[in-house]
Amino acid sequence: MTETAPPPLTPLDEAWERALCIVAHPDDLEFGAAAAVARWTGQGKWVGYVMITSGEAGIDGLHPQECRAVREAEQVASAQVVGVDTVDFLGLPDGVLEYGVDLRRAIAATVRRHRPEIVVTGNFRDTFGGRSLNQADHIAAGRAVLDAVRDAGNRWVFGEQLTGQGGDLEPWGGVREVWAFGSPDATHAVDTTATFDAGVASLEAHAAYIEGRGWEGWDPREFLEGIARPTGQRLGTAYAAPFEVFSMGWGD
């Protein structure tokens, strides 16, 4: 039996100035995208984070009312490690996020507020590859991000957010691509060799969460290497982060 090598990955386009990362939970970006973010902020780009929930249902031994503050503080610290100063929390309910108009409305507002060219979200396929099942909030969040990016550009959708109609925003149709990190259908990647350590430190900033999960002997560096090395082999670098790319234009 011969094993087929996984196909090579294409370098991501880095000709942009503003990116917004929109994910379901604190810690999602640190499980695969933070080193890429560190690279981009190091290039002088602006990157902002949006947490749809505060991950308040994420620690078994900690009541959501207390957990919320712990996880928000860890996310803000984790973001600072990779050069991100803006972290918004939308306050939707952790664990029971529903794909639908309400979720799209909340995400469209944040896209209109921050006006990015690139939107980064997490993998929203059914699995992470093989038999590792994805989680319901991730799937709802990613699908809603794709739709809300289009909604943000349409002045007739969620019009109450716009100036003169009760809000203080303008339509924003400037998002060129949505990138889903960690997708099993990744076609692209970014070299994270120089910023890999920052990515590890960013994940380590979620100390209460990692301890709360109780993973015996689990090592953040080892875990991230397990993704970054094979991805790097497909890009021709030591380390890399994989992304599935969705074009928001027509016919390209």
Residues that bind Zn ion (CB under 5 A): 25, 28
To Zn ion, the closest distance from the beta carbon of 20 in angstroms equals 17
To Zn ion, the closest distance from the beta carbon of 128 in angstroms equals 11
The closest alpha carbon to 118, from 171, 178, 191, 170, belongs to: 178
Residue nearest Zn ion, CB atom distance = 25
Provide CB contacts within 8 A for 190, sequence distance 6+: 11, 12, 14, 36, 39, 235, 240, 241, 243
DSSP secondary structure code for residue 12 in this structure: P
Region of 164 on the Ramachandran plot (φ > 0 left; ψ -120 to 50 alpha; else beta)? left
To Zn ion, the closest distance from the beta carbon of 123 in angstroms equals 10
Intra-chain end-to-end CA distance of the chain, in Å: 38
Q: Which is nearer to Zn ion, 25 or 113 (CB)?
A: 25
Q: Which is nearer to Zn ion, 136 or 157 (CB)?
A: 136
Apex 12 CA angle, 9 and 17, nearest 5: 170
Q: Which is nearer to Zn ion, 110 or 121 (CB)?
A: 121
Q: Which is nearer to Zn ion, 28 or 151 (CB)?
A: 28
To Zn ion, the closest distance from the beta carbon of 83 in angstroms equals 22
